[in-house]
Amino acid sequence: MSCAGAAAAPCLWRLRPGARRSLSAYGKRIIVRFRSSGMTLDNINRAVVDRIIRVDHAGEYGANRIYAGQMAVLGRTSVGPVIQKMWDQEKDHLKKFSELMVTFRVRPTVLMPFWNVLGFALGAGTALLGKEGAMACTVAVEESIAHHYNNQIRKLMEEDPEKYEELLQVIKKFRDEELEHHDTGLEHDAELAPAYAVLKSVIQAGCKVAIYLSERL
């Protein structure tokens, strides 16, 4: 969340030399094989991969909007550089999932306009509570995303860990960076936010709804 994120694996999805890409007008099947992976557009579980990429793209987009809202309020304060660093990683995460959407021909969720507005409003609204409010939001969101990524990792491991090795690498890396953001929030007084426990619970409930809807719509 992320989605820094994609930099560690810039060539994960590059075509193998000699991989076939049949684009003829005769309706031949298109076969694309990804570098050092058993994944092709024909042998993956499309329902699983579509759902994972769609919801992760939506989640990283929402995270970017949250940090944009926080920076609009706190960008010129002492905590601005801390928020900017986390936002820069989220930009990398979003870029990677945008690329994967093209690679695997996954459509975005129809709820993108809502996440655009709601994400910015959540970021700005919690930032208006002060640095502690913004960091409480970060802790709540990043904890939810890390849990969500762990669920996806378990699912792909059950499916075929060798076939989905490269996708697993991406998700694991982004999961670890989300946990770093979570810890950064705690280090910057998230727990001192007004009604921290209530605020965290409400935000995480919203995250669960957003994940559920973005996987399906």
Annotated binding site for Fe cation: 60, 90, 93, 142, 178, 181
DSSP state of 192: G
Distance from C-alpha of 198 to C-alpha of 112, rounded to nearest angstrom: 27
Distance from C-alpha of 65 to C-alpha of 63, rounded to nearest angstrom: 5
**């007008």: which residue's tokens?**
25
H or E element, residue 87: helix 80-103
Please state the φ and ψ torsions of residue 93, each to the nearest 5 degrees.
-60, -45
Token representation of residue 164: 């989905």
Q: Compute CA distances 195 → 53, 125, 131, 137, 141, whole Å.
A: 34, 14, 14, 12, 16
Distance from C-alpha of 192 to C-alpha of 190, rounded to nearest angstrom: 5
The answer to whether the CB of 21 falls within 8 A of the CB of 30 is: yes
Cα-to-chain-centroid distance, residue 55: 8
- Mark the binding-site residues, compressed into ranges: 60, 90, 93, 142, 178, 181
